[in-house]
Structure 1
Amino acid sequence: MKQMTMASAVPMETPICLVENRNEELMVNQQALQILTSITKPVVVVAIVGLYRTGKSYLMNRLAGKNRGFSLGSTVQSHTKGIWMWCVPHPRYLDHDLVLLDTEGLGDIEKGDSKNDSWIFALAILLSSTFVYNSMSTISHQALEQMQYVTELTELIKVKSSPNNVGEEDSAEFVGFFPDFVWAVRDFTLELELDGHPITPDEYLENALKLSKGKNPKVAMANLPRECIRKFFAKRKCFTFDRPTNNKSLLAHLEDVHESHLEPAFKDQADNFCSYIFSNAKPKTLFGGIMVDGNRLGKLLETYVKTISSGDIPCLENAVLALAQTENSAAVQKAIKHYVEQMVLKVDFPTETLQDLLNLHTDCEKEAISIFMKHSFKDDTFKFQKEMMQILDSKKDDFICQNEKESTKCCETKLKYLSQTLMEAISQGIFSVPGGYQLYRKEREKVMSNYHQISRKGVKADEVLQNFLQSLAMTEESILQADQALTEQEKALEAEQVKREAAEKEKKLLEQQQMEMQQMMEAQQRSYEENIQQLKQKMEEDRTQILREQEMILDHKLKEQQKMIEEGFHEKAEELKRQTENLQRKIETAKRERSSWWPSVLDNVGTALMVFSPGLGKVLGLGIKALGHCVQ
């Protein structure tokens, strides 16, 4: 088998126990959890279960590209306790990691409580995207009886928290989130034939899963695991394996056996198994296409084990909602962090105009919203999006405030330097002579001219200049009145001119402030429109994905219904028909509502904006609510 040479983002030379099984109690190993939660790539999770001492660990080592790793053992005693984990780079997809989970053997006679086996089995189902069941010799009646654990899943897993969704109703939804199923039959010695015709391993599995006819309890019990496998696992695959070697002494230490000493047929079968897993095992996702990385998988595991330890039943809906709370909070922080980092990088204080700063804000905010949308899910009440909007708005105000401070500081420094000669002349009384007023005006105009020629003074340029001129008003009036070269009429005209200039500057400053207020409102409008646009895109994608998944489930149930009819199980076919009709109604309703769902969402967001920003937000909120009605 091809060895993997890539360096893992989370280097693991050997497996580590992920879920410890101490005294029949399950506990998460914090060291292993830390490794798992540090994985930021989507994970393909392959879990293997089966009776103890059936060679599960050897297959997992092959998937890891190693001979050694998961403990094989060479005695009748089970070696693997709990669930062991090995995270390795995916050999075919660089943007994914492969998480291998090897579980302790089922049916270990040394264990006193079979319930412990059931929870190990259930956890493997809940965590994996591909679930491998490993058995020996054949898929016989006995082998199917040993799959009793699959029949107990309805008592060990809940889909929804609602008490109305229990038992048969709840388990009907298992197929929507259960992993792909692979049955690995080891030491297989039979001919793959049926009625004298060759068949594939997949056909062998499907034939073994056919239900037996009869209504007595014994037949019903024998059919139950078959029915559960067919009902819960939409995608099924089977691999048969010859003995690795016929040398009994080598079998006891298979990890030390060189490839050349293995049976050629077994090598081909093992390579085909690995190739299938690498090519077809999907990344772990939650319902709705929510991609799971190592961090999310670790948090789900903690929730499941904590629930089991408390004596309760793991609920998929509750686990996903709990995960969404922590993930959405982290998504807000990631978005804000990116925004601040980009603004610090891009903004060169002071900006020439407020609009220059707001343009940069718009670009950085758009990226931040995109990051939030990428990492958040199930924010159905928009709680976290509103939180992000509030923080972004506050951060924007901080940058605006900093920009104003930098502009004020810059302008005051420049004016102080440029007016140094003027201020010294005033203090020395140079202008307190006949003709001094005109001389003062000339010096003042020179200061203003030089000030206007300086670039990048920022948004406070006019305001700082206006404050500076106002600070000279009394001095200027005093110089004017003391100038003996001017008549009283000329002084009155000059005073009137000074008032007009001051009024014009005030008007100009007010116009600038009004323009900036308009720019702020437009920026706020763009901000909310960007949130709306990206929210709509995300929700449309989510709805499309959910519809796609529901249609896949519907297709599976329709096929299973047809098989039940062909096999003569009409009552079971009727039950499946009822389920498919309910699902069809849901799908059709969702499709009909597709054109009308968005305006109602806009109404909710618009209302939220009014709460978020009572003044400006109210105007914008009403505007977006109106927009919602326009797009109907």
Structure 2
Amino acid sequence: MSFRENKIDMPSPVCLIHNTEDGGLRICQEALDILDQITQSVVVVAVAGPYRTGKSYLMNRLAGKRKGFALGSTIESKTKGIWMWCVPHPEKEDHILVLLDTEGLGDVDKGDEKHDVWIFCLAVLLSTTLVYNSLGTIDNTALEKLQYVTKLTEHIDVKSRTGDGKEACSKAMELMRVFPSFVWTVRDFTLDLVLDGKEITADEYLENALMLKQGDAATPNVVNYNKTRRSLRDFFAVRKCFVFERPGNTKKMKQIEELTDDDLDESFVEQSKAFCKYIYTNSRSKTMRGGRGVTGRMLATLAQTYVEAISSGQVPSLDNAVESLAQIHNSRAITEAVEFYHCEMTKKVQFPTETQQELSDIHAGVEKEAISIFIKGSFNDQNQEYQNELVKRLSKEYEELVKQNMEESRKACRSIISRVFGSLEEAVKEDTYMQPGGYTEYCSDLDKAIKQYRSEKGHGPMLEEVLTNYLTEKNKVGQNILAADRSLSEAERKMEEKRREKEALEQKNRQLEEQKKMQEELFREQKKSHDEHIKQLKEKIDEEKTCSREEIMRLQHALDQERNKRNPEPTGPRNAALRLLTHGIKACDDVISPVTSWISRLF
């Protein structure tokens, strides 16, 4: 399995969710490991429908392969649980197409309707496009087999959100916002697309089949007739239909995965291509509420969260899923950013750096990349709690590097002093300067050593501090030599003492200037770090605002289309939808305000 350079090489599907012996569901670690390596955005297409209707074949077409998801030529259902195949998206750069092939609904061998409902719910929750595959026609019988859609509100938990703080939209509206687009594929379709003597499109065929029965809405017949139809209209804002003629004769169909397009009916091939083209072009990237993009590793967390909820007897919660994503992926984003920073700084910094600015420049470049890693990996970081933690951890890492750089600089400076002042030390030990004129010679040798010390490379930013400490230690030596030099008059001794005091003060000033420059550089680094955090955070928020606006406009467009199809005025959930949309753009504009507060508290 290879995931290098944004390429993915997954030769065959793997099981994502499998059935346990006691009839439950369990996530498969192999699939999670694969998703965990995908840091790109994902487009997730799931197929559901009655067993033995050719769902797997459609998924293989989308993968661009003849073989992959298991096909069968008998009445036995081949797919159990949910299988996954990740392939590079054919049209969207830096996106991965995740195909989910679900267990056939209504398998007589299984006979567990509750299990079917959970499989259907998982397909809805994980996908961005849900393909429902059936045979024959869209009639009452076909719609009755799609009864699972009426149970979604019972099996998926979501809190209502307010539009303006006063009125909450319905649960159905919330589900519509996060549910996938819906594509009904009708296989072995033999009818003419004609209604009232006029040719119609497959989409019009679907919408006509979903028309609600008028009359007394409370009567059992009307309620039953409208139940599935209303659910499809209320939950799935975007709907599409494709009809497929038979791909060939029955004998050929038993070996369909061995056949090329040339072996299949031409109309079926063209219809299949049109279906794939639509999915590639119109299936959007997986997002959470608010338009936040989902990566492969985030999809893994979602799948795990939902399956764990089902296994524990709970209803999958969209809000709990968001919280889990935030906790897991924000913590992980911090860890990855800090590990990256530590690794890169270890590779790039050669201690000691010649100046503090040299270390600062390396730090600034690496920190920028580390922040970017966090920003890309973070999710729903309310009040920038996790970014604050990142600030602290990167600051601590850098503080340790500064301390290490200073200590290595001190070691290097002491080593240079030991070498440069070595001959002077030997002369002092041998009392070479304890003679008339010795003090003048000592001062000359000391000045030469100081100049040579300063001209050396590799001492780092603590040059003057170490030199100051060394000269302070040797001050008594100079005094002793001065006192022993009888060639100097008393007046000359006093002049030398004043000169020595002046030089010591000048040296101390050099040290203070060195410290001042270092503090100023550290302060500039702090400001640059602050600005970089804010810059990248604002960019992410602007991007999320754009995504949120697009999500709202997409939904509004879908609702407008729905209203124009048959109903002159929106009713029920659609009234709530339009009220929500009225306030939606203002709400996404307000998302920047917590950041302003965070900026004022940062540093």
| Range into which the TM-score falls when normalised by the shorter chain | over 0.9
Displacement of 1:332: 1.3
1:587 counterpart (585, 588, 598): 585
CA contact (8 A) 2:177 2:555 kept: yes
Measure, in 1, the Cα distance between the counterparts of 2:521 and 2:33: 47
Query: After the TM superposition, which residues 125-144 of structure 1 pair with which residues of structure 2 at under 5 Å, given as runs?
Result: 125-144=124-143
Query: Is 2:113 the partner of 1:105?
Result: no
Q: Which moved more, 1:418-427 or 1:360-369?
A: 360-369
1:55 paired with 2:59, answer no
Deviation at 1:75, TM superposition (A): 2.0
Aligned to 1:334: 336
Q: Provide the residue aligned with 1:528 in structure 2.
A: 530
Residue of structure 2 equivalent to 1:621 = none
> In structure 2, the residue corresponding to 1:335 is in which secondary structure?
helix
Q: Report the 3-state secondary structure (helix = DSSP H, G, I; strand = E; otherwise coil) of the residue aligned with 1:496.
A: helix
The answer on 1:148 being equivalent to 2:143 is: no
Q: Single out whichever of 512-521 and 498-507 deviates more from structure 2.
A: 512-521
Cα deviation, residue 168, structure 1: 8.0
Shift of 1:311: 0.9
Q: Give the corresponding residue for 2:63.
A: 64
- Shift of residue 196, structure 1, vs aligned partner: 1.2
In 2, the alpha carbon distance for the partners of 1:433 and 1:499 equals: 23
Aligned equivalents of 1:429 and 1:11: distance in 2? 78
Change (3 A) 1:8 1:63: farther
**Contact 1:159 1:171 (C-alpha < 8 Å) held by counterparts:** no
In 2 relative to 1, CA 535–368 (structure 1 residues): closer, same or farther, beyond 3 Å? same
The corresponding residue for 1:601 is 595
Distance 1:352 1:14, change over 3 A: closer
Q: Verify the 8 A CA contact 2:291 2:548 in the aligned structure 1.
A: yes
Query: CA offsets per residue over residues 203-235 of structure 1, 9 Å max, x none?
Result: 111121111112222112211211221222222
**Offset of 1:318 from its aligned partner?**
1.2
Distance 1:67 1:588, change over 3 A: closer
Letter in 2 for 1:576: R
The residue type paired with residue 69 of structure 2 is F
| In the alignment, structure 1 residue 220 sits paired with structure 2 residue 240 | no
Tell me if the contact between 1:129 and 1:282 (Cα under 8 Å) persists in the aligned partners: yes
Asked whether the equivalents of residues 160 and 318 of structure 1 are also in contact (C-alpha less than 8 Å), the reply is no
In the TM superposition, what is the alpha-carbon distance from 1:244 to its structure 2 partner?
A: 1.4
Quick check: 1:10–1:35 contact (8 Å CA) kept in 2?
A: no
2:81 aligns with 82
Distance 1:268 1:123 in 2: 31
What secondary structure sits across from 1:206 in the alignment?
helix
> Distance in 2 between the 1:579 and 1:84 partners?
34
Name the structure 2 match of 1:628.
Answer: none
1:206-217 → structure 2 map (5 Å cutoff)? 206-215=207-216, 216-217=219-220
Q: CA deviation at 1:481?
A: 0.6
Alpha-carbon deviations, 1:380-401, whole Å to 9, x = none? 1212111111111111112212
In the alignment, structure 1 segments of 5+ residues that lack a partner are 1-5, 610-616, 618-632
SS in 1 for 2:134: strand
Q: Given that residues 6 and 40 in structure 2 are in contact (C-alpha distance below 8 angstroms), is that contact kept between their aligned partners in structure 1? A: no
Which stretch shows the higher mean deviation, 61-70 or 573-582? 573-582
Residue of structure 2 equivalent to 1:425: 427
Aligned-residue offset at 1:9: 4.4
Distance 1:33 1:530, change over 3 A: closer
SS in 1 for 2:514: helix
Could you tell me which residue of structure 2 aligns to residue 396 of structure 1? 398
**1:229 aligned partner:** 232
Report whether the alignment pairs 1:286 with 2:288. Answer: yes
Cα distance between partner residues in 1 of 2:493 and 2:309: 89
Higher relative contact order (CA 8 A, sep 6+): 2
User: Post-superposition shift, 1:345?
Assistant: 4.0
Distance (Å, rounded) in 2 between the aligned partners of 1:317 and 1:54: 34
Match of 2:461 in 1: 459
Amino acid in structure 2 at the alignment position of 1:180: S
> Could you tell me which of 483, 486, 504 is aligned with 1:502?
504
* Cα distance in 2 for residues equivalent to 1:213 and 1:327: 49
Contact 1:181–1:237 under 8 Å retained in 2: yes
CA distance in 2, matches of 1:298, 1:110: 30
Q: Using the alignment, how far apart are the partners of 2:288 and 2:583 within structure 1?
A: 23
In the superposition, the TM-score normalised over structure 1's length comes to: 0.88
Q: What's the offset of the Cα at 1:590?
A: 5.1
User: Do 1:161 and 1:318's aligned partners in 2 also have CA atoms closer than 8 Å?
Assistant: no
Identify unmatched segments of 5+ residues in structure 2. none
Residue number in structure 1 paired with 2:206: 205
Q: Which letter does structure 1 place at the counterpart of 2:440?
A: Q
1:184 aligns with 2:178: no
Q: In structure 2, do the counterparts of structure 1 residues 539 and 62 end up closer, same or farther at CA, with 3 Å as the change threshold?
A: closer
Q: Quote the offset at 1:425 in angstroms.
A: 0.6
Q: List per-residue Cα deviations over 1:229-275 (Å, max 9, x = no partner).
A: 122222221111111112x2333333234543322211221222222
Match of 1:17 among 6, 15, 18: 15
3-state SS of 1:306 partner: helix
Contact 1:158 1:316 in 2 (8 A): yes
Structure 2 match to 1:244: 247
Task: Describe the shift of the 1:267–1:406 C-alpha distance in structure 2 as closer, same or farther (beyond 3 A).
Answer: same
CA contact (8 A) 1:561 1:573 kept: no
State the 1:322 CA deviation.
0.6
Q: Contact 2:383 / 2:595 at 8 angstroms: preserved in 1?
A: no
In the alignment, the residues of structure 1 paired with residue 6 and residue 513 of structure 2 have an alpha-carbon distance, to the nearest angstrom, of: 60
2:8 and 2:564 map into 1 onto residues whose CA distance is: 46
CA distance in 1, matches of 2:542, 2:15: 40
Larger deviation: 453-462 or 424-433? 453-462
CA shift, 1:40, in A, is 2.8
Q: Aligned with 2:170: secondary structure?
A: helix
Given that 2:183 and 2:242 are in contact with CA atoms closer than 8 Å, whether structure 1 keeps it comes out as yes
Deviation string for 1:145-180 (max 9, x for gaps)? 111111110111122389999x98222111211112
Aligned to 1:434, what secondary structure does the other structure show?
Answer: coil
Contact 1:136 1:188 in 2 (8 A): yes
Q: 2 CA distance for matches of 1:387 and 1:533?
A: 17
Q: 1:258/1:574 Cα in 2 relative to 1: closer, same or farther (>3 Å)?
A: closer
- 2:574, 2:450 → 1: CA distance? 86
Shift of 1:550: 2.2
Matched, 1:295 2:293: no
- Which amino acid is the alignment partner of residue 386 of structure 2? F
Moved more, 523-532 or 573-582: 573-582
CA deviation profile, 1:5-44 (whole Å, cap 9, x unmatched): x999453333222211123211112222222322233222
* Matched positions, count: 595
TM-score, with structure 2 as normaliser = 0.93
